[in-house]
Every structure is written in structure tokens, then in C-alpha cells.
Amino acid sequence: MIDGMLAGLSLVLSWPTFGYLLLGVFIGLWVGAVPGLGGVVGLVLLLPFTFSMEPVPAFALLMGLYAVTSTSDTISAILLGIPGSVASQATILDGYPLAKKGQAARAFGAAYTVSAFGGVFGAVLMAVSLPFILPVIFAFGIPEFLLLGLLGLTMVGVLSGDHIAKGLTVALFGLLLTTVGYAEATGVPRFHLQFAYLLDGIPIIPIALGLFGIPELLEMAVKNTSISRVEMSDDGRGGMMRGVKDVFRHRWLTLRASLIGTYVGILPGLGGAIVDWIAYGHAVQSAADKSMFGKGDIRGVIAPEAANNASRAGALIPTLAFGIPGSLGAAILLSALVIKGLQPGPDMLTVNLDLTFSMIWDIAIANVLAAGLLMLLSRQIAKVAFLPAHYVVPGVMVVLLMGAWVATSSMGDWWTCLAMGALGYAMKQGGWPRPPLILALVLGTLIENNFQLTIQLHDGFSWMYQRPIVVVIEVAIVVTIFLAARGITRPKSVKVSNTDNADNGGLSQSLMSCILAVAMLSVFVWAYAAAANFADAATSRFPATLLMLAIPLALLVLVQDARASVRHVKAAGGPALAVAAASREWDLSASMKFLGYLLALLATTYVAGQLVALPLFVGLYARRWGNFSWTVSLVYAAISLLVVWGLYSRIMNLQLHPSLIFG
């Protein structure tokens, strides 16, 4: 084993392998920083260049990119509240509030320090654990993965703060969204509303970008405020070093989160999806003082960032040892392995052990290099948080929309993104937590598939008490629910998911929350009626089960909100005065104007295409809303045109939408 580790290190440090590793790191930092791209897109772009390369340098290039995208994706998560990838979703909860406080540099310092530690620690721990971990992986079957998915969903209690009923309702709505399209068990389409776009399901990228990104950009545009709500001097030059010191102060949390990331990451198809949520939940549960979580607690950045970087090495093991890719990124790495004439299996842990260890060393070294480079740049990157809103909003909107376009390259991606943006805005104003929706979207398909297979392969419920690992996970689920019920994980002082809420629990929140409750209940009732007409039980079983829980929950929330709304309307002096006051608090007129700009952008895309519509949006926004000079507006529009044409159309080879005028 030691000989294999040393041989692998020697391979990585040889030239030109180390040069390719550096190139992969540079590309990975750029790809990870752009919302909607991420490691999968980067691997797809680089894969053709490795066909003629030797295996070791080829994997150095690919692993260099693969390892660091979960580090650089924190840039958009912290600065904009937009997840750069699935791995940075939990980081938003406290990273973005820190940026609002003018402490983006502190968040970056902590994130990059734990990213380096987590990546190295995960790689070393995985290498040492290889002889012991393989039998454990073999012991996991379909029931175990089902229970692990349910364990991940128990994090809803943490992510909902003191709005647990709303959090559960949102989570069930997210699970319902995962049932849209063809049912994998039967091939029967469900809830697709006769739209071909929905037959393959709703992609998560447009949902995540719209749900988190558009509400923040809308608020910045309407209020003309920078990301940070304080002056630049408030952050201080020592902000980054303060973040580094935070990591050492919370060193045991860093260590525990890295352990969680390494061993949860080995679970094919599930580990990478839930590891950051589990680590975040652990940080909340293990904290003596939970009052600042969701409001800018540095521990909420440390835990998920340490875990998601440590999980990269863990995810590599089932791919190499069993040929079971746990994610799209791992599947691309597996295809590269086969292209090079290497077969996953025992040979990768015996004959080709030096190559396996070279990949693990690639991950460790890449994380250190990426953290060092980003630490050098972070002070300048953090200054974006203090730029006036109108300099940030149009450019970020272009990147956000083109990031959504990456999903399926159809206008359905943009309509989904816009619809989720409107929903996210309403949820933010109404005090409804948004993270449970994303968590449910990540886990929904996995849970349903394992649920259906468990029913088909196991008679009765004996598997629930005859399989030791299942029993252990069941105990963990019960303990988590018990702690949530006792208020240990979510005391009333904790509002994890509502920190970005401008509301103080008054009139505007209760009215918007009541509107959302009516909408949720209507969707659930319609979906239940539609599910009752499905041809067979296998197609309707999972959504019907969800909806039997969702309808009473939504009704409970509606009753609570209706009572609160009645009290606030009376206090305001009547319905007309109440609606007028709420509209002012929501900045409804300016918000509708911003959404009108986006609808005009979509309409222009149908007529003239994206190469015209996006620069036109940028130029008009800069000139009419930002009051920039014509020169600045035209330069800004030209830069956006160059980005859309050069990056997305030429480099990424995305098919842009055909226009009525230009074809």
C-alpha cells in the first residue's frame, strides 16, 4: 500500500503530468465560478483532448478540473446567493448573509482553507481506508439507499428554522416536482401538462438558479443597493485572515465535516447529493449557540465546504473499484478510464494501484493549489460585494440565464427559471424557506426509484429490522426527528432559511404567505386528482403517498396564515389599506417592472435570438434603469454579446435558440 502511494505521488509530480494538473486546476476554477456550468460541463469539454494522451497525464488534467470546481463555486454562492453547483447550495445559507454584512472576504478565507484541508484529508483518509471500506460498500443495497435518502430529508427540520410546517410543505412540493415526466418504473408520463419539455422531468439547474438568483437580483435592482449592506471599511483588511483563524477555532467541526464528506461521498448516486446538507445539519445540531445560523454564522460555511471537497476522493472509490459512477462527473471519468483501455474492478486496486493513487494525489494537490490561488485573488473578488447594484445585475442575469440554458438548451429552461424566480420572490417575501425545495429535488428521484425497487424485491417489511445497516440508519432518522421535535436542532431563535427575509412577521408576510398557501394547496389537490387517474398503482403510488401528507399540511399552513392575515388586516384599517401597505413593502411596482424586463427579454429571444436579446437587455437596463451613459451602456452590451457568442456558443458549442428573423 505504501509503495503504491509513493509510486502514485511520483507519477503526479513528473513532467508533463504536473503541468496538465495545473492546467486542469486553472480551467476548473473558471468553470466552477460560472453558475450553471460546474464540473460536468468542464469534463465534457476536456474529454476529447485526452484521447491521444497517456493515462496518467490525461487523468491529471481531468482530476485537476474535477477536484476544484467545488471550491470555486463558492464565489457565486457567497457573493450572489446563487449556487454555482449542487455542491455549494448549503453554503448559501450563511455565506450570502456574511457577504451582506460586508464579510465576504472572511467567508472566502474560511471556505478556501477548509476546502484545501477537506480535499487533502479526504484523499489521505480514503487511501488509508481502502482495505476496510470496500466490504462496507458491498453491504449497501437498495433498502439502505432508500433509508439514506430519507435521512437526508430529515435535514428539512434544520433548514426550516421555526417554520417547520412550511418547510415540510415546501419539501413535499419539491418531491412532487421530481415526479413530473416519465415514471422510471413504468414509463408512463405524469403531470406534464401536455408540454414535451416536461416529459423528461424538470432539470434542477434552472430551478436552483431561478429560485435563489432572480429574487436577489430583483432586490438589488429595485433597491439599488450593493450586495453588502455596510461600507467597505467595515470588512477590514484582516477579513480573510479572520476567516482562516475561524477554521482553526472550529478545527474539530472541520475535522468532523471532512469525515462526513469522505465516507458519505463513497455512496454511489447519493453521497455527493446530500453530503453538504448533512454536514450543515451536523454543524447546527452540534452547536451550543445556534442563534446565528442562517444569519451569517461562519460555521455554516466551514461545515459544507469541508465536506463537499472531502467527498471528491470518496466518490472516486466506487467508480474505480466497481464501475459504479455516483454522479455525472464520475460517469465521465469512468468513460475516460474505458477509453484508455482500463477496466474498473479489482485490477485498479492491485495491478494499477499506482494509477489509482495518482488520481487520489491529483485531488489532494489540486485542492491545495486551488485554495492558494483563490486566497490570493479573494480580496479583489470580495470587492464585488461593494459595487453598486446596477453594475452587477445585468451581467449576472446574462450568466444566470445562460447557465440555465445549459440544462437542455430549450426555452423551457428559461421559462422554468423565470417561474421559479417569481416563486422564490414570493417565498422570500412570505417567510417560506427555500432550501428544503432544493434538497427534495436532489433526493426525490433517488428516493422514488429505491422505494419502488424495495417494494418489488422484498416481501413485507422484514427488511426494516433484519438488515443491520438499515437499522442503524433508522435509529439515526429517529434521533434526528426527536431532536427536531424537542427544539434542539431548531430553537425559536434560529431562522436558518429565512435570514434573507425583509419581513418582520407583519402584514406583508402574512398576506404573501396566505397567497402561497392557497397556491400550494391548489396544486396538491389538482395533482392528487390527476394521480387518481393514472393507469396503474406503480405509477401513482409515490406521488399519491406524498400528496396524502402534503394536502393536510398545506391546509394547516393556510389556516394559520389566514388567521394572521385577518388580524393584520383589521389592524391596518381594512382590506384596501392592508393591500396598499403590503404592496409598498414588497416594492410591487418596481418588482413588476423588473419582471417585465425579463418577459420582454424572452419575447425578444423568440423574435431575434439570444445574440440580440441578451445584449439588448443589458444595454437598455444599463441606460434606462441604471442611468449609465450611452457609451458605458453600449460597451456593457458588447461585452455581454462577446460572452454569449464566444463562451457559450463557440467554446461550449451550445445550440442557441433560432430566431424568427435570423433563423
Q: In the structure, what pLDDT confidence band is assigned to residue 621 with cuts at 50, 70 and 90?
A: very high
556 in a structural domain: no
558 in a structural domain: no
User: Contact, 243 vs 298, CB < 8 A?
Assistant: yes
Query: Helix, strand or coil for residue 338?
Result: helix
Please tell me the predicted confidence (pLDDT) of residue 417: 92
Instruction: Tell me the torsion sign for CA atoms 323, 2, 254, 371.
Output: negative
Single-letter residue type at 468? P
Please tell me the predicted confidence (pLDDT) of residue 212: 84
Q: What whole-number distance in Å separates Cα of residue 278 and Cα of residue 127?
A: 23
Cell numbers at 366, concatenated: 489540486
Q: Does pLDDT of 641 surpass 90?
A: yes
Summarised one tens digit per residue, pLDDT across range 384-395 is 777 788 888 898
Q: Does pLDDT of 358 surpass 60?
A: yes
Do you find a cis peptide bond into 97, omega within 30 degrees of 0? no
Q: Does pLDDT of 23 surpass 80?
A: yes
Summarised one tens digit per residue, pLDDT across range 61-101 is 888 888 888 777 788 888 877 776 666 778 888 888 888 88
443 in a structural domain: yes
Question: Please, which residues bridge with residue 190 across strands?
Answer: 181
Residues in contact with 522: Cβ distance below 8 Å, sequence separation at least 6, in sequence order: none
Verify that 607 and 477 share a domain, yes or no.
no
Helix ranges (H only) for 340-434 are: 353-382, 389-405, 411-430
Verify that 498 and 607 share a domain, yes or no.
no
% of the chain with per-residue pLDDT over 90: 15
**Helix, strand, coil: what percent of the chain each, to 5?**
75, 0, 25
Q: In the structure, what pLDDT confidence band is assigned to residue 490 with cuts at 50, 70 and 90?
A: very low
CA distances from 3 to 128, 316, 348, 356, 358 (A): 13, 20, 15, 12, 12
Single-letter residue type at 268? P
User: Contact, 253 vs 124, CB < 8 A?
Assistant: no
Query: Helix, strand or coil for residue 270?
Result: coil
Q: Does pLDDT of 262 surpass 70?
A: yes
Verify that 494 and 614 share a domain, yes or no.
no
Comparison of pLDDT for 51 and 531, the residue scoring more? 531
Cell numbers at 126, concatenated: 480514503
User: Contact, 234 vs 105, CB < 8 A?
Assistant: no
Place of cell 483563490: 374
Q: What is the mean pLDDT of residues 292-297?
A: 84
Q: Does pLDDT of 152 surpass 50?
A: yes
Q: Which structural domain, as residue segments, surrounds residue 634?
A: 602-651
Q: Does pLDDT of 657 surpass 80?
A: yes
20 in a structural domain: yes
- Among 364, 251, 374, which residue's Cα sits nearest to residue 309? 364
Q: Looking at 509-518, 532-541, 604-613, which range is the least confident one?
A: 532-541
Verify that 283 and 148 share a domain, yes or no.
yes
User: Contact, 490 vs 161, CB < 8 A?
Assistant: yes
Domain boundary, last residue among 467, 482, 502:
502
Neighbour-count burial of 168, counting CB atoms closer than 10 A to its CB (0-12 exposed, 13-18 middle, 19+ buried): buried
595 in a structural domain: no
Between CA 38 and CA 42, with CA 39 as vertex, the angle to 5 degrees is 95
- Among 381, 314, 366, 377, which residue's Cα sits nearest to residue 95? 381
The number of folded domains in the chain is 2
Place of cell 460597451: 635
Q: In the structure, what pLDDT confidence band is assigned to residue 616 with cuts at 50, 70 and 90?
A: very high
Domain boundary, last residue among 502, 525, 552:
502
Q: What whole-number distance in Å separates Cα of residue 166 and Cα of residue 324?
A: 37
Summarised one tens digit per residue, pLDDT across range 220-255 is 888 877 776 656 554 545 677 888 888 899 989 999
Domain boundary, last residue among 485, 502, 519:
502
Please tell me the predicted confidence (pLDDT) of residue 239: 75
- Among 100, 107, 81, which residue's Cα sits nearest to residue 385? 100
Verify that 238 and 363 share a domain, yes or no.
yes
Please tell me the predicted confidence (pLDDT) of residue 485: 60
Q: Residue 269 region, left (φ>0) first, then alpha (ψ -120 to 50), else beta?
A: left
Q: What is the mean pLDDT of residues 472-489?
A: 71
Query: Helix, strand or coil for residue 269?
Result: coil
Q: Does pLDDT of 575 surpass 90?
A: no
Q: In the structure, what pLDDT confidence band is assigned to residue 493 with cuts at 50, 70 and 90?
A: very low
Please tell me the predicted confidence (pLDDT) of residue 501: 42
Q: In the structure, what pLDDT confidence band is assigned to residue 651 with cuts at 50, 70 and 90?
A: confident
Q: What whole-number distance in Å separates Cα of residue 9 and Cα of residue 362?
A: 9
Q: Does pLDDT of 487 surpass 80?
A: no
Query: What mean pLDDT value characterizes the chain?
Result: 81
Summarised one tens digit per residue, pLDDT across range 532-558 is 888 777 788 888 888 999 999 999 999
626 in a structural domain: yes
Verify that 218 and 79 share a domain, yes or no.
yes
DSSP state of 626: S
534 in a structural domain: no
pTM summary value:
0.80
Q: Does pLDDT of 618 surpass 90?
A: yes
349 in a structural domain: yes
User: Contact, 62 vs 47, CB < 8 A?
Assistant: yes
Verify that 332 and 211 share a domain, yes or no.
yes
Please tell me the predicted confidence (pLDDT) of residue 503: 38
Q: What is the mean pLDDT of residues 253-262?
A: 88
| Highest mean pLDDT: which range of 305-314, 378-387, 423-432 | 423-432
